Amino acid sequence: MNSEINSLGYENNIQTIPESHLFPENKYKHGIPIIYHSESDKIIDQSCEARLSDDTPNKKSFTHKIFVIRKCKPEHIGDIFLRPSENDDSSIILNINIHTPLGEKIKTGLFRKLSILLFEKYKTLRIETHILIDHHKIINSLILSGYTFEGISQKFNSNSELEEFAVFSLLKNQTNTEKSLLFPAVDSNIYRDEKIALRLAEPKDTFCIWLEQSNPESSKWGLFETASLDEIKQKIRRCGLNSAVGPNILLTIIECSTGNAVGKIVIRNVVPPHVGDVGYGILPEYRGLGYAVRALNLLKKWAFNEAGYVRLELGVKEGNIASERVAQKGGFKFEGVRPGRLKNHDGSYSNEMHYFFLNPNVSYRKIGD
5 neighbors 102 (Cβ within 8 angstroms): no
Assess if residue 186 is contained within a domain: no
Q: Which helix (H) or strand (E) holds 286?
A: none
Q: Are residues 264 and 222 in the same domain?
A: yes
Q: The CATH number of the domain where 107 resides is what?
A: 3.40.630.30
Q: Are residues 279 and 327 in the same domain?
A: yes
Per the prediction, the chain carries an average pLDDT of: 81
Q: Which helix (H) or strand (E) holds 360?
A: none
Residues 138-148: what's their mean pLDDT? 92
Q: Are residues 270 and 126 in the same domain?
A: no
Q: What is the rounded distance in angstroms from the CA atom of residue 208 to the CA atom of residue 188?
A: 18
What confidence score (pLDDT) does residue 166 get? 96
Over the stretch 282-328, which tens digit does the pLDDT of each residue have? 999 999 999 999 999 999 999 999 999 999 999 999 999 999 999 99
What is the band of 203 on the pLDDT scale with cuts at 50, 70, 90? very high
252 neighbors 236 (Cβ within 8 angstroms): no
* Cis, bond preceding 101 (omega within 30 deg of 0): no
Burial class (CB within 10 angstroms; exposed 0-12, middle 13-18, buried 19+) of 250: buried
Q: Are residues 138 and 250 in the same domain?
A: no
What is the band of 225 on the pLDDT scale with cuts at 50, 70, 90? confident
What confidence score (pLDDT) does residue 49 get? 38
Q: What's phi and psi for 278, nearest 5 deg?
A: -110, 140
Over the stretch 10-21, which tens digit does the pLDDT of each residue have? 233 333 333 333
Q: Are residues 210 and 269 in the same domain?
A: yes
Q: What is the rounded distance in angstroms from the CA atom of residue 315 to the CA atom of residue 324?
A: 9
Of 217, 213, 224, nearest to 319 by C-alpha is: 217
Q: Are residues 87 and 208 in the same domain?
A: no
Q: Which helix (H) or strand (E) holds 264?
A: strand 261-270
Assess if residue 187 is contained within a domain: no
167 neighbors 149 (Cβ within 8 angstroms): yes
Over the stretch 263-283, which tens digit does the pLDDT of each residue have? 999 999 998 999 999 999 999
Over the stretch 90-133, which tens digit does the pLDDT of each residue have? 888 988 877 666 667 767 877 887 888 788 777 789 999 999 99
First to last CA, the chain: 57
Residues 331-335: what's their mean pLDDT? 98
Q: Rounded to an integer, what is the distance from CA 157 to the centroid of its chain?
A: 23
Assess if residue 188 is contained within a domain: no
Q: Is the pLDDT of residue 211 over 70?
A: yes
Q: Is the pLDDT of residue 155 over 60?
A: yes
Q: Is the pLDDT of residue 56 over 80?
A: no
Q: Is the pLDDT of residue 83 over 60?
A: yes
Write out the residue range of the structural domain in which residue 78 sits: 14-174
Assess if residue 309 is contained within a domain: yes
Of 19, 70, 287, 245, nearest to 142 by C-alpha is: 245
Q: Are residues 159 and 91 in the same domain?
A: yes
What confidence score (pLDDT) does residue 75 get? 59
Assess if residue 54 is contained within a domain: yes
Q: What is the rounded distance in angstroms from the CA atom of residue 110 to the CA atom of residue 231?
A: 35
Residues 185-190: what's their mean pLDDT? 92
Global pTM? 0.81
Q: How far is CA 268 from CA 212, 280, 333, in A?
A: 19, 12, 19
Q: Which helix (H) or strand (E) holds 262?
A: strand 261-270
What confidence score (pLDDT) does residue 13 get? 37
315 forms bridges with which residues in the sheet? 354
Q: What is the rounded distance in angstroms from the CA atom of residue 349 to the CA atom of residue 354?
A: 15
Domain ends where: 174, 205, 234? 174
**Total number of domains constituting the chain:** 2
49 forms bridges with which residues in the sheet? none
Question: Which ranges constitute the DSSP H helices of the chain?
Answer: 19-22, 46-54, 104-122, 136-144, 206-214, 216-221, 229-237, 239-245, 291-305, 321-329
Q: Which is higher by pLDDT, 369 or 91?
A: 91
Torsion angle, CA of 98/104/105/109, rounded to 10 degrees?
Answer: 40
Residues 131-157: what's their mean pLDDT? 92
SS3 186: coil
What confidence score (pLDDT) does residue 68 get? 66
Q: Are residues 162 and 274 in the same domain?
A: no
Q: Rounded to an integer, what is the distance from CA 183 to the centroid of its chain?
A: 8
Q: What is the rounded distance in angstroms from the CA atom of residue 96 to the CA atom of residue 131?
A: 7
Assess if residue 28 is contained within a domain: yes
Of 41, 53, 23, 165, nearest to 119 by C-alpha is: 53
**Concatenated DSSP letters of 13-49:** -EE---HHHH-TT-TTTTB---EEETTTTEE--HHHH
Q: Which is higher by pLDDT, 29 or 37?
A: 37
Q: Is the pLDDT of residue 9 over 50?
A: no
Torsion angle, CA of 357/358/359/364, rounded to 10 degrees?
Answer: 180
